[in-house]
Every structure is written in structure tokens, then in C-alpha cells.
Amino acid sequence: MDSEQISAGRARWQARYDAARKRDADFTTISGDEVEPAYGPPEGADVPGFERIGWPGEYPYTRGIHPTGYRGKPWTIRQFAGFGNAQQTNERYRMILDAGGGGLSVAFDMPTLMGHDSDSPRALGEVGHCGVAIDSAADMEILFDGIPLGDVTTSMTISGPAVPIFCMYLVAAERQGVDLSRLNGTLQTDIFKEYIAQKEWLFDPEPHLRLIGDLMEFCAEKVPAYKPLSVSGYHIREAGSTAAQELAFTLADGFGYVELGLSRGMDVDVFAPGLSFFFDAHVEFFEEIAKFRAARRIWARWMREVYGAKTEKAQWLRFHTQTAGVSLTAQQPDNNVVRTAIEALAGVLGGTNSLHTNALDEVLALPSAKSAEIALRTQQVIMEETGVANVADPLGGSWYVEALTDRIEAEAEAIFQRILDLAPNGAAHPIGPMTAGLLRGIEDGWFTSEIAESSFAYQRAVEKGDKRIVGVNAHMDTIEEPLEILRVSHEVEREQVRVLAERKAARDSAAVEAALAAMLDAARSGANMVPAMLDAARAEATLGEICDALRGEWGVYREPARI
């Protein structure tokens, strides 16, 4: 790009920056020196390929989707939390909000994630242990008691039973008197990554895609500010993928959901802004920053050139970041504070829209209140004291970062082509070509195999000492003392089961049966299932009852054996 084009781009950016709203904050260094809101090549310089870097808020958004960077709005501090019953988690949420958290992110226990009630034999010993137990809309109402859902953004990390859980959330909002159009937040819903990495599914892929399409249509009409899909690379990375695999598999999943919306006749410029992403921030600092920058550029280009998106918002990749759980060590766990801070800084320098920082004891148990506060303060120190929010994409133009960004982008593009080639003889799928490749890759175990190979290579490097981890295979001497960790009492399960039995006895059983029957009628007729499922949640049908009814209709997915 020649100097005249660069100057014209700078002028466009400056005009947009000047017109945008900025925070009332001090944007000087700790020494009192003024800093520019963004930096670029010196005046008169020719920079070949600068169009791939560009200016903040300008296509291809390598440097961020807003011209102001964090001067306009800082990232949302969104701490992931949930344990025990709804009342216990509600107390933790209030603590997070009182301590300065800007949004809530719900962690559910394993029975809830798998669509089972707390009184199910499959739930025995698991209720409330890895997240909060939610059996019905009544639990959801308690979970957010005293927290105005019209004013707080809420993320929910659940995919298989995401739609009935979301319906219970809507009922809780209705019972607060909140207009559903005011709700803002994100529902994970991403079923592709379950088959690829996390393995928390209910049915075969096709019924799940049916429900996701119904949810996309419903939210576009009734809950327009809420993002019904958070395409998740986090679990793909936690399963052992490389940074490029995390990026490529995640964006390919996102392209599949774009094809799903288009197959429903939806306008890409209307539904695409409702898609968001969820990435891992690992400890390889510069590679992670480059991954986030490449992600924005790839998404914008594919949305414009492949899927025909015309508006800026439909081309924007918005993403949440969580620091890497797999980087935490049980040995010398205090070191995890340092790892988390480095990973959080990578997410911020990569331009994340929201961020969760893991607690130092999460490798051992759910976070204690003290460790959760340290994790929250880690973000606040980065936000308030380091000056990194003063400049948009401060590493833009770094030879190393730009080379890494280009490399990861090229690796991702090669993986996209491999996924497209997975469909035999270019076999089509009614939803779209990327979807055809994704479904074949899931069926054949290709994704699982690719992640397993990467995970094995890394583990072998650790065991040989080529990759050094402090406290694990390097610098192992320590004076640490045992940690006090959070333990969830078995009494939580007994009480949850008791309360569930009381609620079942007190509700209108005929209304529940009628609502479940209407939901199955919608499933068989091809109608949008969300309104009927919402009626079932209003009648206090439980999560297990809703999911079991659908299991009876659609069957249960069994992963094929791998050789």
C-alpha cells in the first residue's frame, strides 16, 4: 500500500474516532505523557501489504472492530461461576457484581449439561459439583433473584440442552417483569464443538441443528439483543489442539451456523451479528495475540466474500476469552496467578470483547471466594493500572506479531480446505458445503484424531523436557503450603432432590403433560419449537422431562467406536 492510500486510511480512521463516543478517562502514561489512540506507519511511508493490517474499526478488522479500541468501551469483566444450588451461586454472583464484575457467566453442573434432573440415577454424586444445578424455571428464578436481568448481561455455558435452559431463563426474566427485548447476553449452544471436543450432546447432530435454527429465528424476532450462539473454540483448545486448529475448527463451526441461518431463509446481515465466539487464551503470549487478530480478519473476509454479508456488524467477529484451564498446574498452584495474568493480557492485547480469568485453585476444585476475588482483581489491575486500554492494537505493525498473524491465518485456511474436502466427492448437504464437511469429519472421527495427535505431541515434549513447565518439570523445589479448597457438600444434592420432589407435587401435572405434548407436536410438524418449549418451562416442566421427551422422539447419539 502506498503512502497516499495509508494517509487516506488514517484520515478515515481519525474521522470515525472523532465521531465515536469515548470514556471519560485519563489516557496518559503513568509519567503523565499523552499517548495516541492508535499508531500506524510514519507519514510518507509505503508499506506493502498494509491493507491486511489496516486501521482499528476498518475492514478487515485485524486491529479491532471499533475505531476507539478500549477508549470507547473496555472489555467486559465476565467471571464464570456456578456451584451447589441456585441460592449458593446467587450469593457468589452478588459478590462478583459488588466487587466490580460487569457481567455474569453461568457454569452448570454435569447433570444439567447432559439434560438430566438432579433426581436422575445418572446424576448421583454429581449434583452441584462442577457448576450450579438447574432443574426448572424455579431454580433459574432463584439463581437471578435480586439481579435485574434487564440491566446485566448474562452468558450461559451450555450446548446440548441450551434451548430449554434458555427458555427457563426467559421465564425467570418474565417473572421479574422484564421485557424480553431488553435481555442481553450470550448462550453457548454450539453443538459442533461438542462432537469435536467436549462430548456433551443429547441427540444426533441433525436434531440439534434443527433446535439451533429454531432458536436463531426466535431470538432474531423476540430477543434481538441476545446472542443465541457462542461458537466455542475454548473446549477444542482444552482438548489439546494447536492454536491454528482451535482457530480453524471454531471458525469452520461458525461458517456452518451461518449456512444454517441462510438455509432457513434468514438475512445474513440480520442474524450474523447474533453470532459470537469464545476462545482460549493460552500461555504462549504472542501466538495467542496473533490468533485473535487472524480470527477477526478471516471471519470478516469469509462473511463478505463467501456468505455475502454487506454490513459492518455482520462482518465483525465478537469474542469472549477465558484463560487456559489446561495451563494451570496442581503443583505450586500459586504460579497459576502469573499464568492467568499473562494469558489475560494476551486476550486484551488481542482485542477481546469480554474476559474471564481462571482462579489459581481451579485445577483442584471449584474456586474459593478468595481465589475468585484474586482472579477478578487480575483483570482490574490490567484494566486500571497498565495503560494497555489506552491504545487500540498496540502491537499492530510488530514484525513478529504480523508474521505470526499471517502464519496462523494461512494454517487456518489450509484446514478449512481439508474440512471442505472431507465430504466424499463434494457431496452436498441441504445446509451448506462447510456443514457437509463438518458432519463427515464428526462421523469419521477426523477432528478427534487431529486433536489427539496434537495433544500427544505436546505431552511427549513435556515428558522429554523440551517444553518446560515451572513446578512440573522445572524449578520444582517449593515452600508452598496446602490450599484450602472449596468442597460441595453431598447435602446439596439431597436438598436439591427434596425441593424438586416438592415442586413436582405442587405443580399442575396436567398442564405439564399438555405442554410437553404440544412441544412434541411442534417437533413432528416442523414448526418452530421454542414457543412450545417456553410454555413447558412456564408450566414448570423440568429440564429432564423436556430432554427425555425429545430423546424419546429423536433417540440418543452414541459416538462410533474409533480404531
Query: pLDDT tens-digit profile of 502-533?
Result: 999 999 999 999 999 999 999 999 999 999 99
Cα separation, 240 vs 234, in Å, equals 10
Torsion sign across C-alpha atoms 555, 556, 557, 563: negative
Res 426: pLDDT? 59
The 3 state secondary structure assigned to 8-43 is: HHHHHHHHHHHHCCCCCCCCECCCCCECCCCCCCCC
SS3 label, residue 219:
helix
* pLDDT tier at 100, thresholds 50, 70, 90: confident
In percent, the amount of the chain with pLDDT more than 90 equals 90
Res 367: pLDDT? 87
For residue 465, is it left (φ>0), alpha (ψ between -120 and 50) or beta? left
Residues 6+ apart with CB under 8 A from 222: 180, 181
Cα separation, 252 vs 272, in Å, equals 14
Q: pTM for the complete prediction?
A: 0.95
How much is the average pLDDT of 265-287? 96
pLDDT at residue 428 greater than cutoff 80: no
How much is the average pLDDT of 407-425? 94
Cα separation, 185 vs 156, in Å, equals 8
- 341-387 pLDDT per residue, tens: 999 999 999 999 999 999 999 998 888 889 989 999 999 999 999 99
Q: Quick one: cell of 513?
A: 403433560
Q: Which of 77-91, 285-299, 353-367, 428-442 holds the top average pLDDT?
A: 285-299
- Higher pLDDT: 298 or 561? It is 298
* pLDDT tier at 22, thresholds 50, 70, 90: very high
Res 366: pLDDT? 81
* pLDDT tier at 472, thresholds 50, 70, 90: very high
- Higher pLDDT: 81 or 176? It is 176
* pLDDT tier at 427, thresholds 50, 70, 90: low
Res 488: pLDDT? 83
**Cα dihedral: 234, 235, 241, 245 (round 10):** -60
**Helix H or strand E encompassing 457:** helix 446-464
Res 162: pLDDT? 98
**Span of 236-245, 425-434, 445-454, 527-536 with lowest mean pLDDT:** 425-434
Looking at the chain, the number of H-run helices and the number of E-run strands are 21, 9
How much is the average pLDDT of 58-72? 97
Cα separation, 341 vs 497, in Å, equals 39
Exposed e or buried b per residue across 249-288, where buried means at least 16 C-beta atoms within 10 angstroms of its C-beta: bbbbbbbbbbbbbbeeebebbebbbbbbbbbbbbbbebbb
Res 485: pLDDT? 80
How far lies 52's CA from each of 1, 61, 107, 157, 297, in Å? Answer: 10, 9, 38, 33, 8
Res 401: pLDDT? 98
Res 178: pLDDT? 97
Res 414: pLDDT? 98
- 130-165 pLDDT per residue, tens: 899 999 999 999 999 999 999 999 999 999 999 999
* pLDDT tier at 491, thresholds 50, 70, 90: very high
pLDDT at residue 43 greater than cutoff 70: yes
Q: Which of 527, 512, 521, 551 is nearest to 137 (CA)?
A: 512
In percent, the amount of the chain with pLDDT more than 70 equals 99
How much is the average pLDDT of 191-216? 96
The answer to whether the beta carbons of residues 135 and 542 sit under 8 Å apart is yes
Res 487: pLDDT? 81
Cα separation, 410 vs 420, in Å, equals 16
Res 563: pLDDT? 63
